[in-house]
Structure 1
């Protein structure tokens, strides 16, 4: 069932989208900017697809930039942290915006299977996002007012841990954006160690190098903590768009992770970002904690929630099928992959498998 509200999507350049959004008082997520589209264009299988002003009765109500993703032999479109609305939309308005986006996708006729974007309402036309963990809750730290004010706004547990970290954590923190832009290898080694410990595979080092280079120091900062021997043991990469900063990536060496080094670095980041560009940055988004929608992320809550007294609700990623029959086949295939993976985990290993050496895959 379609919405009774009628909206249309009018194409414009990303530069025009940014200019209009600023005029409307919007702070765009970094993923909805021209700088981000230039970065995405360097990643294999991704290309900027289009930017749109969504109109209702001739008036703008939202803006959205879309990236084409190619994976496993098919294409889909993604609007990371978009659409960006001028007001809090009703479920019917969200459905009307999706219909407007579908209209332009079908008009081009390039065969994308679905559009992945942020939709707050649990609409019947949308599906739970395939192959990713969407989240609807995050922690946003107010970084205004200076060091003491930042600390005072944390939960008591956060203040206690940060003060302990300032006294005892064996690291020196610094903004190392320029160093990382020249060579990312030292930071990448820590990221690989983190991935091996936490069960994820980092992207190629070139992705992070491209991110630093293409977004530039105005939109991308890297903060690091070094031990007494001068080795990087913890770091994070933050993006900046307008007044909003986001903690995009972070990594820590296993040997020091229980010595409050991350608490010390995160507080340092907050203070540095609060001073960045004359205090123009006001918030720092830690990106994703667990909830009933994404219980697999609940392990993040204990650390992240102590840095703010409240959590923040956000619209989660959902898939809006364009080619419905094909999308259903993707769902079936995904379920089969998950079942096979679970069976492999559950069955006991054979003697041959126990004896076989581990093989590293790129």
Structure 2
């Protein structure tokens, strides 16, 4: 069924009712839209959970739900519905437009400080704008975890399958979940992330942001690490000082919620790159989450015409599937059009100045 609504009414909704509504429609709840995400938002300076809303049609029938988080900008604030809204039925362009109209009016009344709201939408439209200072994507790589393990491997790309089988024979790996790692122990992994960022040319947050995600999300955040070991099971240093053998060469901070796992952050150092540690670790994650009842794993975005910045990871992620999966990209929806226009001009001027340096 599709929705062709032209007017919607918004009402606040509690987290448990939010999830029940989504499940009753046969969908899963993205972790960023779930109540568990609120603790992470609250732990980051300047960020906070803003609220959850349900959208109803003229017959009081719920058609969509959305969870919004407030983010700080320089002199402004905005709301972001990461992986939202969640439509209970497939929306038409008119239905998406009706939700934007309702949200703009609701937010302008309830929080006049908000400059814009960021939403994921299927249909392009004249009243939406490309994101300010952020990257979105419209393709990802998903792995179906429901088949048998050998069938999951057979569904991989030929090159990826060959490389995986080779690395599975490498006895120099110790792979484990280290979600209970200490803040001190996490510094080793953050050093790998800095190396990855410098090599691949992207910016990163302070270490406390990633560690807060791990500690505030509870079981919904999982940290997996690949370490290199010698024949005796340790490297020259013995262990990392926390009981995990070997030296870390690759790691992934994943989320796992409502049966769906997804990549979030991670990196590999030079040794990890040379030993295909990321490939081996990703396989370990897939099989571990499958064993826990996981149904799907999302690699979280690959490069496309809309997201050329992610072309560097496209080839790696396509080792796990023979094609990409389309997803709804994010767009900015101005709540205060003049303010948003000024922000756009200011950002363009800043980039022009930086380009001349």
TM value normalised by structure 2: 0.90
**Structure 1 residue matching 2:36: 3-state secondary structure:** helix
Picking from 122, 127, 130, the partner of 2:129 is 127
> Which deviates further from its counterpart, 118-127 or 294-303?
294-303
**Structure 1 residue matching 2:342: 3-state secondary structure:** helix
Q: CA deviation at 1:14?
A: 2.3
Picking from 201, 204, 229, the partner of 2:203 is 201
**Structure 1 residue matching 2:91: 3-state secondary structure:** coil
CA distance in 1, matches of 2:327, 2:123: 11
Moved over 3 A (4+): 180-183
Q: CA deviation at 1:214?
A: 1.3
Tell me the residue number matched to 1:295: 308
Instruction: Verify the 8 A CA contact 1:150 1:271 in the aligned structure 2.
Output: no
CA distance in 2, matches of 1:202, 1:111: 28
Per-residue CA distance 1:282-314 (angstroms, 9 max, x = gap): 110001111111122112111111201221111
**Structure 1 residue matching 2:108: 3-state secondary structure:** helix
Q: CA deviation at 1:200?
A: 2.7
Q: 5 Å matches for 1:110-259?
A: 110-168=112-170, 170-179=172-181, 183-216=185-218, 218-228=219-229, 229=235, 230-259=246-275
Tell me the residue number matched to 2:284: 268
CA distance in 1, matches of 2:135, 2:97: 22
Tell me the residue number matched to 1:309: 322
Tell me the residue number matched to 1:332: 345
Per-residue CA distance 1:19-66 (angstroms, 9 max, x = gap): 322233221110001111111111111111110011123111111001
CA distance in 2, matches of 1:110, 1:254: 49
Tell me the residue number matched to 2:334: 321
* 1:65 aligns to 2:78 (yes or no): no
> Which deviates further from its counterpart, 204-213 or 31-40?
204-213
Per-residue CA distance 1:193-223 (angstroms, 9 max, x = gap): 212222233222222222111111x211111
Q: CA deviation at 1:315?
A: 0.8
CA distance in 2, matches of 1:337, 1:163: 48
Q: CA deviation at 1:248?
A: 0.7
Q: CA deviation at 1:151?
A: 0.5
CA distance in 2, matches of 1:145, 1:73: 50
CA distance in 1, matches of 2:317, 2:33: 25
Aligned residues: 338
Tell me the residue number matched to 2:52: 51
Structure 2, unaligned runs of 5 or more: 230-234, 236-245
Instruction: Verify the 8 A CA contact 2:272 2:278 in the aligned structure 1.
Output: no
CA distance in 2, matches of 1:268, 1:115: 37
CA distance in 2, matches of 1:191, 1:147: 30
Instruction: Verify the 8 A CA contact 1:137 1:313 in the aligned structure 2.
Output: yes
* 1:7 aligns to 2:8 (yes or no): yes
* 1:285 aligns to 2:302 (yes or no): no
Q: CA deviation at 1:4?
A: 7.1
CA distance in 2, matches of 1:282, 1:84: 19
CA distance in 2, matches of 1:137, 1:101: 26
